[in-house]
Amino acid sequence: MRKLTIVLIIATISLFACSSEAEPQSLNETQKSIAPSLQGSDNSGSSESGKGGTLKRLWSDPPTLDPHLVTDTTSAGLIVEMFSGLVTLNPDLEIVPDLAESWDLSENGTLYTFKLRADIKFSDGSPITANDFSYSFNRAANPDTESPVAELYLGDIVGVQEVLDGESNEISGVKVIDDRNIQIKIDSPKAYFLAKLTYPTAYVLKEANVSQGGDNWTDSPVVTGPFALERYDLGQVLILKRNDLYWGEKAKLDRVEFNLAGGVPMAMYENGEIDITGVGLADLERVQDQNDPLSKDLISVPPSFTINYIGFNVSKPPFDDIKFRQALNHAVDKQLIATQVYSELVRPAYGILPPNFPGFSSDVKGLEYDPDKAVKLLSESKYADPETRPLIVVTIPGTGGSPSLDMEVVADMWDRVLGVQIEIQQVEWATYLQDLHRERLQVWGGSGWQADYPDPQDFIDILFHSESKGNHGKYSNSQVDEILEEARIDQDPLTRISKYNKAEQLIIDDAPWLPMWFDQEGLALIKPRVRGFEFTPLIVPKLKNVYIQN
């Protein structure tokens, strides 16, 4: 989805089953091939009309509701329903017009001219103009906003870096033509730029709402999306209501109620407290039994474009030694974890790009389980002696409960194969994100990356270029940087992909991560009364098409 997106490991893995490896995909292929629909399901949408009702979901407190600050999927899943930008991704992962009705691109591929829809309004009834977009781009880039993602998603625009550095107050590459037309100039032609504008950092905000509300403006946000915030009680409930001034087809639901108090998802589903839940390991056999009433609510879910990993800060000892990092990779039996811990509901990850994602290649080879090689690499590293080896502290998100089982298994494998012992510390989710962005963590786990848009640049470049703000482990390889910079401006889809594959292989060999697992196709339960809900591999606006059938 989005964002710089961080995905929490859930204690009961859900929404998984099996998928096959795919050959490299061209970036100009239809996105429908990578976003399976649920057309075979009773809950995959309906041609019959319907409106009204309240959808009930289990959620958790979002670290932010500010589009220009969002870096996590919890926040993004709410923000994409309340705010909007010039363009968006539809459920088939196609870039489509949003508040802009059309756009033109100059012959040299660097100047975009967007035409806004006529008579579009904020949720308070005031008009949305090109000046609002100019304000919003500048606000996102302003150092006072402290956006951790503005450079990642807006940095291709001419003049953004100068604003980020405090050298200018306005982005020179953003020009308002009139109320309905705005131009955006980028530094060079880039095939993925339009997709970046689907990320919340490019969403439009109302200046008066932000300035008058100060730090708490998101308590009463003026929005542009199909839903508006009705109520937010921290740790209890968050309610979205239909925005009747939304420019497009109005949301069919009256409200979406997000339960923030927590609980056991399956029990909450059976008690009617929530309408949708993933199926955990403990309930898998039961819900597949045709004699169980829940089996009638069961649907298949496509895998999300997500990778779970353990990240190393290569500037902090002992992770500044490539052989030490490689030894840790070779000491972990990911197939055993997938089989014994997750009952083959996840797929071991040896690369970075998820299967079926544009640019995925089975020719990219990972650092597979090899305990003998792991021991040899450790002996050749400068941290072979446990007596002088620095303390290793793995930080994971949590509030004091037991660490995730896979993290405990990895710790056991490192100890058993290499004699490398670690400490695991848990911190609150918002603190975890803050420390991650500030590059304070030595090692981090219990999280992952979900794609924001269907382009390999969103993984390989954003996470591993040495100057990227998304490179939280300070990984640096000049050869990788050179390849990624070439790929940015390559207009040929096939050669772009080959460059990303080459960079991916170099990164894997350098072992700045321990890739853990990818999502698999899986199962979920949806109440029969819920119509039009779709699961998508990325976070996209989709709740406006949902309704409750009485």
CATH code for the domain of 486? 3.10.105.10
Same domain for 211 and 323, yes or no, is: no
Of residues 34 and 488, the one with the higher pLDDT is 488
Kindly report the backbone phi and psi dihedral angles of residue 93, in degrees, each rounded to the nearest multiple of 5, phi listed first. 65, 30
Is 166 contained in some domain? yes
Of 525, 486, 515, 528, which Cα lies nearest the Cα of 503?
486
Is 529 contained in some domain? no
Is 190 contained in some domain? yes
Mean pLDDT of 128-135: 98
Chain centroid to CA 473: 18
227 and 220 Cβ atoms separated by less than 8 Å: no
Is 345 contained in some domain? yes
Is 248 contained in some domain? no
Give how many domains the chain has, as a whole number: 2
Same domain for 207 and 310, yes or no, is: no
Q: CA–CA separation, 206 vs 396, rounded Å?
A: 36
Q: What is the pTM of this model?
A: 0.86
Is 48 contained in some domain? no
Residue carrying structure tokens 């955006």? 184
For 219-250, the pLDDT digits (tens) are 999 999 999 999 999 999 999 999 999 999 99
Is 542 contained in some domain? no
At 498 the pLDDT is 97
* E strand residue ranges, 186-265: 227-233, 237-242, 255-259
228 and 241 Cβ atoms separated by less than 8 Å: yes
Q: CA–CA separation, 5 vs 449, rounded Å?
A: 5
Q: Which of 215, 230, 258 is the last residue of a domain?
A: 215
Q: Considering the chain, what is the average pLDDT of its residues?
A: 90
Q: Which of 215, 243, 261 is the last residue of a domain?
A: 215
Q: Which of 215, 237, 256 is the last residue of a domain?
A: 215
Confidence of residue 46 (pLDDT cuts 50, 70, 90): very low
Same domain for 183 and 318, yes or no, is: no
At 482 the pLDDT is 98
Burial of residue 245 (CB within 10 Å: 0-12, 13-18, 19+) is middle
Confidence of residue 521 (pLDDT cuts 50, 70, 90): confident
CATH code for the domain of 176? 3.90.76.10
Residue ranges making up the domain that contains 487:
306-518
Neighbouring C-beta atoms of residue 402, cutoff 10 Å: 11
Is 282 contained in some domain? no
Of residues 353 and 446, the one with the higher pLDDT is 353
Same domain for 475 and 342, yes or no, is: yes
* Lateral strand order in the sheet of 100-105: 100-105, 111-116, 181-185, 174-178
For 369-398, the pLDDT digits (tens) are 999 999 999 999 999 999 999 999 999 998
For 142-160, the pLDDT digits (tens) are 999 999 999 999 999 999 9
At 49 the pLDDT is 53
143 and 164 Cβ atoms separated by less than 8 Å: yes
Token readout for 106 is 């100059």
Per the DSSP assignment, residues forming a β-bridge with 183 are 113, 175
For 207-229, b/e burial (b = at least 16 CB within 10 A) is bebbeeeeeebbeebbbbbbbbb
